[in-house]
Amino acid sequence: MARPTERTEPVLHNRLAVLRTERGLSRQDLADALGVNYQTIGYLERGEYNPSLELALRAAEYFGLPVEALFSRRPFTPMSEQLYAGARRTTKSDEPHA
């Protein structure tokens, strides 16, 4: 039998911390916006609490992004890596063909 304190649910990766920092929000600001306790934001960011679908959708709505941009079952590729990969592709396609 699983003890109540054991974590049994799978880890859900998220980009909440990045998005919050990017927009200059404190945990309290985000908590107020989403209607949760500020500590809940900390647990969400650390991946120690998986949000309900309703809270996930509320967060996505707040950031104006699709929910899969915030939460994923697989680890996210770092945003910087994605950005530079995109930039490299653009540069290569701009080069004149020999």
Partner 1 sequence: MTQSSAKQDDSRIDRLPQRFRRVIAVTTLVGLPGMYVWSAFWLTTSVPNLVWGQLSFLLIGATIAGSFVLYRFVRDRASMPGAGLDERRRHLRDQAWVLCYQILSAVVVIGVAIVAILVLGFGRVVTLDATSVGAVALSVGVLIPILPIAALAWIEPDPPADA
Binding site for partner 1 (CB under 8 A): 3-5, 27-28, 31-32, 35-43, 45-46, 48-49, 51-52, 54-55
3 or 97: whose CB is closer to partner 1? 3
Name the minimum Å distance from CB 70 to partner 1: 16
**Each residue of 13-33: b (16+ CB within 10 Å) or e?**
ebbbbebbeeeebebeebbeb
Angle formed at CA 43 by CA 79 and CA 58, multiple of 5 degrees: 70
4 or 75: whose CB is closer to partner 1? 4
CA distance 56 to 71: 8
61 or 81: whose CB is closer to partner 1? 61
Name the minimum Å distance from CB 92 to partner 1: 40
